[in-house]
Structure 1
Amino acid sequence: MTPKIAIVGRPNVGKSTLFNRLTGTRAALVSDLPGLTRDRKEGEADLGGHMLNIVDTAGLEEATEGSIPDRMRRQTEAAIETADLVLFVIDARDGVTATDETFARTVRASGRPVVLVANKCEGRRADEGFYEAFRLGLGEPVAISAEHGLGLIDLERDALAALGLEPKPHHRDDKDGDGAEKERPLRVAIVGRPNAGKSTLVNALVGEDRMITGPEPGLTRDTVSSDITWSGRAIRLFDTAGLRRKAKVTDLAEKLSTSDTVRAIRFAEVVVLLIDAERGIEHQDLTIADLATEEGRAFVIAVNKWDVVEDKQQILKGLTSKVADGLSQVPGVAVVPISAMSEKGLDKLLKAIVRAAEIWNRRVPTHELNRWLGEALARHAPPAPSGRRLKIRYVTQPSTRPPTFVAFCSRPEAVPKTYLKYLTNSLRTAFGLPGVPIRFNLRKGDNPFASKGRR
């Protein structure tokens, strides 16, 4: 019998968007209007080579008996009773609401296996809501963005594990929005100050004059995408408008271009900061880099116009030192000298981009993380503010893109920033995570899985 998965949650958390994404259809209506779905809708999804039935349900609401919302709720409860697995979806941007807590109890009481899904996790705004999800008592949440197709591989892995299934060999994990099996292009945003050579670089990588180039700064206004293939890997390049200091941006068209560039950074997977070798790295370059790392993007620095530099070794040493000082939060960022005009160093740049993406997607097994934690605590014990020793008991990695870790601690508010930085740097070194942002967060409590084991 085909296993059945029910997608449940309160209204407007993205259940229908997730249903469409998993089934590779547009069968469920999607809108910002809450309560659009009223009846159960079923479809088929291929997860890890297994065909499964997916059920989209109405939003769970507290309602008076006999009302339409009450009848919708009964339909959802019926779907839960017949499901082999429940995907309980919350909106991470809104955090955990009282309604989420109420219906989490309903799902727990059903006795069905549950995977907790924190949707809309594409930006920093969702971080707090994601960590709040632990208190629902439904296990470790999976961070996804159904709209943007992020985190679906993690969701597939956890769903299959909860059903006691293994992915079939040679199964292609990535699917596009229409369900056709193909590799999703790696999204790479080329950013930098005006006239650094971004459009020239994209033209060189594409192999044709796709973008207008010239000595005048500010020629590019729109963010334009171009697809290439390198070593069998599909890559989508986004040429962006140059970013200047906000005080200098007065023209309306430039303001629109700037907001478009910031949007491209937020939805890229790898950000390439292009700097002019003749001008060196300046404050505005570091501001752009801060924006990319704040958004949690993988990061590479390309130094353009390298063919006109005379003392190459000295210049590269100085640039590397400035990057290490200015981006101390992401040590190990790759600095790649190139010449877009003469098409030199492009293979090295693409290799660095792909490597950054691989690190950004890296997942560390929980048992290895906790072995590392024990060693890190033994090397440098937590401080004892007010004479009370802090206890850090357990660490897990709830998500990738960027690598995100949660440690459970007796008093997280009392842990000094210096000790948190020690743990982050130690983890980065132990598991080879250079040049990508790492989010390391402390939550109050014991090991949440000590008594129940892995889902």
Structure 2
Amino acid sequence: MSKPIVAVVGRPNVGKSTLFNMLAGQQISIVKDTPGVTRDRIYAEVTWLDKTFTLIDTGGIEPDSNDIILTQMREQAEIAMETADVIIFMVDVRQGLVDSDGKVADMLRRSKKPVILAVNKVDNFDLMMSDVFEFYNLGIGEPIPISSTAKLGLGELLDEVTKHFYDLPVDDEEDERPRVAIVGKPNVGKSSIVNKLLGENRVIVSDIAGTTRDAIDTTITHDGKEYVFIDTAGIRRKSKVKEDLERYSIIRTVAAVERADVVIVVIDAIDGITEQDAKIAGIAHECGKGVIIAINKWDAIEKTDKTIYEYTRLIRETLAYMAYAELIFVSAVTGQRLPKLFEIIDTIIENRTLRIATGVLNEIMIDATAMQQPPSDKGRRLKLYYITQVAVKPPTFVIFVNSKDLMHFSYTRYIENKIREAFGFRGTSVKMLIRERKEKEQ
């Protein structure tokens, strides 16, 4: 089941990023051990009560005239309407109702997506409510007063946002078909790969618009089994600014990745692996999906007997945090190795739903701690009490310890690697959650 996507839209300086950072909280720090993932985070996973969703900051407007502001706000609204399930439209109580707010509100109203109107910078609810009520004139429902900086009204806002999750079309639970997103920079050959796979399989394609988003899903049959390919090519945006374009393509990538079981990250063999490739791969990693790195245009490379090893080494080094990802060298032009993709997808899907008995996990953990002592700090040593698997897709494990602070990232990874040595989990990320238990709870 993919997580709902919530996008924040609004004029410059209304406080979108402050709200984003406040809601994303500690989440922003996950980036430190994943090199190449965007420094200016534009998406994050947020949990409110029992609901988890992906929050997207459409942001990025720094214009110098009202015309540009309106044009870029319209673009923001378009991208939000295209990818989000719920939209937070943010306005500023101090600036009051502005002409461009009205024009964007008209667009959002026509989108038929749920829109929550957040009136920011309301530092005193008693004194400022009459100014808040002015925003009823936008005609998109009840304005919710908040203050991002003072953390006021955020609970009410999140209640309102998550209320709409119940109304979302549920991905057809009966639909067991593997969902595969093909992502990558522009012009790496994503569409060519899909077209080649289609051609080889002589399938009549019915392009049904994705039920929950506007991406086009393509069904491909291989050996009698159906796979759904999620297209991220989408609309080519006319934007003068490279950052904007990159931001939009990343938002679209996040939306596609969220809906997939397995993500194929396509890299251009001629360009080699770039920072943008690493960012895109990082999205699949953080969303906990199965990952295949497909190096396309392999037919166009002059090769010696060492070329493939050199390439593999470079990619593994750049994406060191996702050593589990499967690598395959393909050509959309000649069709080289493309059929093998289906075999890898099947294996990854099997690994994503693998469950391991608690007894076996604890044996692995006991052996691992015997081989490499847990770290200690100022005379306190980390104790690992118990490990159990709590979920699949991706496989998720909880380790109970005496102190979360002592459980360094590197030791968590060490335990993860021991589990992978025993069970493989090739192609899929796994999640390791650390829970603290005081000594006396034992």
**TM-score normalised per structure 1:** 0.54
The higher relative CO (CA closer than 8 Å, separation ≥ 6) is in 2
Indicate the residue corresponding to 2:316 in structure 1. 324
Indicate the residue corresponding to 1:394 in structure 2. 386
Per-residue CA deviation, residues 148-176 of structure 1 (Å, 9 max, x unaligned), is 869xxxxxxxxxxxxxxxxxxxxxxxxx4
The answer on 1:248 being equivalent to 2:242 is: yes
Question: 1:330·1:435 contact (CA, 8 Å) conserved in 2?
Answer: no
Question: 1:191·1:271 contact (CA, 8 Å) conserved in 2?
Answer: yes
Q: Output the amino acid matched with 1:442.
A: I
The answer on 1:94 being equivalent to 2:88 is: no
Indicate the residue corresponding to 1:201 in structure 2. 193
C-alpha distance 123-269 of structure 1, shift in aligned 2 (>3 A): farther
Per-residue CA deviation, residues 371-414 of structure 1 (Å, 9 max, x unaligned), is 11111111112122221222111001111111111111111222
The answer on 1:344 being equivalent to 2:298 is: no
* Equivalent runs, 1:29-428 vs 2, <5 Å: 93-95=47-49, 120-121=51-52, 176-177=172-173, 183-207=175-199, 223-241=215-233, 248-250=242-244, 258-311=250-303, 313-428=305-420
C-alpha distance 205-446 of structure 1, shift in aligned 2 (>3 A): farther
C-alpha distance 194-210 of structure 1, shift in aligned 2 (>3 A): farther
Per-residue CA deviation, residues 338-358 of structure 1 (Å, 9 max, x unaligned), is 111222211112211221222
Gaps of 5+ in 2: 1-45, 57-164, 206-213
Q: Secondary structure at the match of 1:280?
A: coil
Q: Which runs of 4+ in 1 moved over 6 A?
A: 145-150, 208-211, 446-450
Q: Output the amino acid matched with 1:224.
A: I
Q: Secondary structure at the match of 1:443?
A: strand
Per-residue CA deviation, residues 79-135 of structure 1 (Å, 9 max, x unaligned), is xxxxxxxxxxxxx9223xxxxxxxxxxxxxxxxxxxxxxx6456599xxxxxxxxxx
C-alpha distance 267-183 of structure 1, shift in aligned 2 (>3 A): closer
Q: Output the amino acid matched with 1:206.
A: L
Q: Secondary structure at the match of 2:393?
A: coil
Q: Which has the higher helix share?
A: 2
- Cα distance in 1 for partners of 2:169, 2:401 equals 33
Q: Output the amino acid matched with 1:353.
A: I
Gaps of 5+ in 1: 1-91, 96-118, 126-144, 151-175, 212-221, 451-455
- Cα distance in 2 for partners of 1:304, 1:323 equals 13
Question: 2:253·2:280 contact (CA, 8 Å) conserved in 1?
Answer: no
Indicate the residue corresponding to 1:28 in structure 2. none
Question: 2:394·2:430 contact (CA, 8 Å) conserved in 1?
Answer: yes
Q: Secondary structure at the match of 2:320?
A: coil
The offset of 1:258, in angstroms, is 4.5
C-alpha distance 419-183 of structure 1, shift in aligned 2 (>3 A): same
Q: Output the amino acid matched with 2:340.
A: K
C-alpha distance 426-247 of structure 1, shift in aligned 2 (>3 A): farther
* Equivalent runs, 1:441-452 vs 2, <5 Å: 441-445=433-437
- Cα distance in 1 for partners of 2:241, 2:231 equals 23
Q: Output the amino acid matched with 1:93.
A: T
Question: 1:277·1:303 contact (CA, 8 Å) conserved in 2?
Answer: yes
Per-residue CA deviation, residues 160-199 of structure 1 (Å, 9 max, x unaligned), is xxxxxxxxxxxxxxxx45xxxx652111000111111111
The offset of 1:299, in angstroms, is 0.2
C-alpha distance 224-410 of structure 1, shift in aligned 2 (>3 A): same
Q: Secondary structure at the match of 2:382?
A: coil
CA RMSD, Structure 1 to Structure 2 (Å)? 3.4
